Structure 1
């Protein structure tokens, strides 16, 4: 490569990565690793999970660079979309595990305070029981819970994504959590 990779545009770097250029790949890593890490943290991931998102996002960059089409959007949007998808996949992987009932002080939503039935020996909620409880919610409430808790969006991001005023989203989330608590208290 004639020019130093760091001086090239994202579009040029992606074109080089599509041809297997490792120096261009390293330049994109230097440019976007921090953004991918910040994205993972905004979605509630930290430590090793957030670093896994960075690695997974960069693997996707290497594998999908050939799919970039500048007529469909900017290289930055393409790269950040790959990072977002990697973060969402990690959040979903984590959500597939039993859900702990301990509140996370970093999150703005209310914590569950549920009694014993349906918990395993580590204090995790039985996923089958939670699935049945989720069916008691309206489709709108279920979608709000899915976006907040399973996809890891903040209240503000979820409101924007769902096209709802922030206050409405918070009301629906509170109402949905109350319904879940009520249903999950039943034996």
Structure 2
């Protein structure tokens, strides 16, 4: 399984529920879906979600215009998405709402591809989209350290540390460490680095400078080493 999917799974497991401001957010997303061309029909609102309704069935019904399916998907996943954005990622309320909103809108826009993927993983897609949005919000609001990038000796040591880490840890274990120790922007840098994308490519994808990519990578590896050291037997 790709590291990005494993990171989404790790985010799902660690997400706390937070119901703050969910009602207005639900109404906002409902309106945005209609603006995208979604046409809900019939007396469909307010049906309570049932454990018998799979995410796959609900998403297919949502695409067909079943507004109750939207309610059920929102009620099932929004609190944990909101909690992850607000508490785990420490986003401001407006940014958290924006990230959760985008997760549901992108799910609707890419529903056909999500439904065609086996197995269908609606929560994984939602959390993956949320992580991606959070990374770009962090990139847009970040500032490079005044001290500048690490020197070349530190960078070369980090490259060796990353290689050693990958030799010891499985992809799932690495995803768990990244999710616990690093913010989404640092996670994205490490993930793309592991996909053999160079600094300029990563910088272009995230809208930051190559210099800042080096800093983020350095910080992420330092956090991973610290997380591993905390787990080592004394």
Task: State the partner residue of 1:6.
Answer: 49
Aligned partners of 1:44, 1:6: CA distance in 2, in Å? 29
The alignment's TM-score, normalised by the length of structure 2, stands at 0.43
Residue 151 (1) aligns with residue 185 (2): yes
* 1:84 paired residue among 128, 135, 140: 128
Shift of 1:55: 0.9
- Report the secondary structure of 2:49's partner residue: helix
Aligned partners of 1:45, 1:78: CA distance in 2, in Å? 23
Spell out, residue by residue over 1:146-180, the C-alpha distance to the aligned partner (whole angstroms, 9 max, x if none): x5245366xxxx9xxx9xxxx99334999xxxxxx
Task: State the partner residue of 1:26.
Answer: 71
Aligned partners of 1:47, 1:134: CA distance in 2, in Å? 37
Aligned partners of 1:59, 1:11: CA distance in 2, in Å? 16
Task: State the partner residue of 1:42.
Answer: 88
Residues 45 and 91 of structure 1 are in contact (CA less than 8 Å); yes or no, is this contact kept in structure 2?
no
Aligned partners of 1:2, 1:134: CA distance in 2, in Å? 64
Residue 125 (1) aligns with residue 145 (2): yes
Aligned partners of 2:95, 2:228: CA distance in 1, in Å? 26
RMSD of Structure 2 on Structure 1 (CA): 4.2
Instruction: Return closer, same or farther for 1:170/1:17 CA change in 2, 3 Å cut-off.
Output: same
Task: State the partner residue of 2:119.
Answer: 73
Aligned partners of 1:36, 1:149: CA distance in 2, in Å? 15
The alignment's TM-score, normalised by the length of structure 1, stands at 0.52
* Higher RCO structure (Cα 8 Å, ≥6 apart): 2
Task: State the partner residue of 1:57.
Answer: 103
Aligned partners of 2:227, 2:159: CA distance in 1, in Å? 11
Shift of 1:141: 6.0
Aligned partners of 1:24, 1:33: CA distance in 2, in Å? 13
Give structure 1 stretches of 5+ with no counterpart: 100-123, 175-187
Instruction: Return closer, same or farther for 1:22/1:151 CA change in 2, 3 Å cut-off.
Output: same
Shift of 1:62: 1.7
Shift of 1:49: 1.9
Higher helix proportion: 2
